[in-house]
Each structure stands twice: as C-alpha cells, then as structure tokens.
Structure 1
C-alpha cells in the first residue's frame, strides 16, 4: 500500500492520460514551496529523497505488477522535475523552462537519458528521469547565468 502511494505520487499516476506530464505539473508547486522556504539545495535534497523512495517503491510495484515500467509509477517524474527546478531561478520563466526541458528530455530520451533507463527494477524507472532533470537543470542554469532568462 505504501509503495503504491509513493510510486503513484498519491494517485496522480492514475490520471487518464499523460500521467507523467500530470505528475510533473503537480510537482511544480511543491518544488516552488520547497525552494522558496528551503532554497535550491533543500529542493535538490528533496529530489534525491524522492529518488530513493522511488527506487524502493517502484521496485515493489514492478514486482507486484510484473510490468517493467508501469505508466502509473510517476514518482520518477516528480524527482526529476524537482531536480531540474533546483537549478532554475525561482521565477515563472525559470520554472516553465525547467518543466519544458525536463519533459522534452524525458520523452525523447537523448543520450545519456536513454541508457540510464536500462538499469534494472526501480533504479531503471527512476534513473533516466534524474538524468533528464540534471540535463534540463544545467541548461536552465546556464541560460540564467547568461541572462537569457
């Protein structure tokens, strides 16, 4: 029961379509609150805590469902989105770009995102999203430092 709650991010994963995008959208206000009150380091730590919880919960969910990467497991999108936002300025354009780039990398799976997905079990579910979040976050940070956003 706990693994299902965590892996579906309290039921968000049961959205009728685009459950990954829905989870990323739901993750944004939480990311803003964590970054606003705790700063970007605390948001990054929250992303890694979600990653750890997701490796465990998605691993349990996969074993129970016999599906290698169930679409309702969306804690990976939450963790990856939070990591991307940890690099972003605490502004609407910064978070919007972090969202867009994270979703783009998560969907298209360019190198090194795609190979990260090949890890076994819950780690494979989670790792590609963390890599996508890191790529998105670094690009957003570079654009912010270059005063583009």
Structure 2
C-alpha cells in the first residue's frame, strides 16, 4: 500500500477557514453581506447599494422616523458583524456590504423621492464610495468593523450634502 503524504499546511488552512466561517451565523451572513449581495463575485458593493435602494423604495421607508432608526441600528450592527467578517475573510472584505447599505440610506436622507433624484443620488453615491474623498480614504484604514463602516458613512454624508445643494438650486426632478 502506497502512502500519500498529507500537506499539513493546506489541511490546517482548510480547517481554519471552515472553522472561521462557522463564526458567522445565518443572520450575520445575511445582514452583514447586505442581504447576500456581498457574495456576488463582481461589484458586490454596487449590488449591496442596489439592495439598499430597493428597500428605500418601499413606501414610507424614506420617512425620517423610519429610515434613521434603521441607519443607526445597521451602523452599530455593522461594526459588530464587520469585525466578525474581518476575522473570516480578512481586512475590509468584499463579502461585507452592510456598509454600502448604511451609506446608501444616508445618501437618500431628507431628499425628495423622485425618479431623477433617486438615480442621480445612486450614481453620485457609488462614485464617491469608490473615490473615497478625504477623510473617507484615511478612515478606511481603521481596523475592525468601525473602519469598514465609517468610510461609507462619510461618503454617504458627502453625497447627501451635494444632493441637498442640487435640490436647493435646481429643485426635484
């Protein structure tokens, strides 16, 4: 009988990865990945933002007394679950898109819910989230769930401010 050598390092890494993934329960995976959009292999952040937009389109969700509590709850939950995602997948993993969900909802705060505003806000938000103007880029380097969340919160507020100025000068369209 021929003996086949076991590659201990590879075996150990496989066991470690499987063990780490067990740290994420269904709710953590579902919400932390932005309703599973984080597992889409291409443009997971954009798909996470689209998922947030679909929820935003639910009638009444744009009301401040509805959306603001969701932003706060998802922000703090995102800090918690983002740290767990980093343990499993590494620094600021693409699988964790709860930050895009929160940033998207912030971008739409207090804006008119019209087709033109929704579309322009979405594309501006995605551009600012990708570019990450100062201090968002610097904040992204913070370790853990807070670092995952805060850069998107800042980009969301940048989008909100720009869109408020647009609406003030040009109205809703």
Mapped pair 1:55 → 2:79:
yes
Q: Which structure is higher in RCO with an 8 Å CA cutoff and minimum separation 6?
A: 1
Q: 1:84 aligns with which of 102, 107, 112?
A: 107
1:3 aligns with 2:50: no
Q: Structure 2 length normalisation: TM-score?
A: 0.78
Tell me how far apart the structure 2 counterparts of residues 131 and 37 of structure 1 sit (CA, whole Å): 21
Q: Structure 1 regions of 5+ residues with no counterpart?
A: none
Q: Over the residues paired in the alignment, what is the CA RMSD in angstroms?
A: 1.6
Q: In the aligned structure 1, how far is the partner of 2:30 from the partner of 2:54?
A: 19
1:58-77 → structure 2 map (5 Å cutoff): 58-65=82-89, 67-77=90-100
Separation of aligned partners in 1, 2:108 and 2:119 = 9
Does structure 2 conserve the Cα–Cα contact (< 8 Å) formed by 1:62 and 1:70? yes
Q: Distance in 2 between matches of 1:81 and 1:100?
A: 10
The structural deviation recorded for 1:113 is 1.4
Equivalent residue of 2:58, what SS?
Answer: helix
**1:92 and 1:38, CA in 2 relative to 1: closer, same or farther beyond 3 A?**
closer
The 2-side partners of 1:33 and 1:130 are apart by 22
1:98 aligned onto 2:121: yes
Q: Comparing both structures, which one devotes a greater share of its residues to helix?
A: 1
Aligned residue pairs: how many? 147
